[in-house]
Amino acid sequence: MDMGIRGRTALVCAASKGLGRGCAMALAAEGANVVITARGREALEATAAEIRKATGANVVAVAGDITTPEGRAAALAAAPQIDILVNNAGGPAPGDFRQWDRDTWIKALDANMLTPIELIKATVDGMIARRFGRIVNITSGAVKAPIDILGLSNGARSGLTGFVAGLSRKTVAHNVTINNLLPGPFETERLQATLGTWAKRDGITIEEAAARRRKENPAGRFGTAEEFGAACAFLCSVHAGYITGQNLLMDGGHYPGTF
């Protein structure tokens, strides 16, 4: 299926690795021009080169911390207009809420709630004026089924989800949709870090922790960045204009509820 986004410009935040990279690759494969960001220039440039080689797309790499005003300004300045915005940033560290002070909370809110809202604010009116826009926020399965050690993530991402639920009903009449993609366990560096915390807590190896999580997942495996990117590309496609304000859980069926 042709996603109908050839020549559109996508800003994919935090995309040198993992799920952001998967989204950037899939959008580029559909012919979109892609701006990717990450803090580390070297890994980012390497990813940009890989995406160009694999897809032939125009890829601009902007190094910077997307959770800072400077990082966001640099990302937005890299393209004259943004038609597709994929919001992403590193997730907050796991831990016990008794150890988290106000600064820790503000950092998590900045990264996983306020940064996406700032970027939506900077781009959504242009999308509305041009009558096309697709915004996808990478959140977490923890929004639907909280994970005890990821309280900062549970809290900050739920705030973003509530905000998006309201705004997405205002923009859809202008062919601008806003949806959230909720990853369960995907094979990325972030997952390795989370498995490490579980392994330490339970006194087992990371391999054992990974095997347990695979086994308890109905799919019997972790997801891949390619699968995640493909879902993102569909939500950003011309075919998805009637889907807005949704929370698409991708977790191999791990969440047990009917809805």
CA distance 156 to 160: 7
Q: Based on CB atoms, which residue is closest to ligand NAD, 8 or 17? A: 17
Report the interface residues with ligand NAD, using CB under 6 A: 14-20, 37-40, 65-67, 88-91, 138, 140-141, 183, 185-186, 188-191
Please say which residue, 113 or 176, places its beta carbon nearer to ligand NAD: 113
Cβ atoms within 10 Å of 118's Cβ, excluding its own = 17
CA 153 to CA 204: how far, in whole Å?
24
CB of 80 to ligand NAD, least distance (A): 22
Find where tokens 């559909």 sit: 30
Cβ closest to ligand NAD, residue 141 vs residue 155: 141
Closest approach of ligand NAD to the CB of residue 110, in Å:
9
CA distance 50 to 132: 28
CB of 19 to ligand NAD, least distance (A): 4
Choice between 176 and 235, CB closer to ligand NAD: 235
Residue 252: half-sphere exposure toward Cβ, Cα within 13 Å: 17
Give which of 19, 23, 25, 22 is closest to 59, Cα–Cα: 25
CB of 88 to ligand NAD, least distance (A): 5
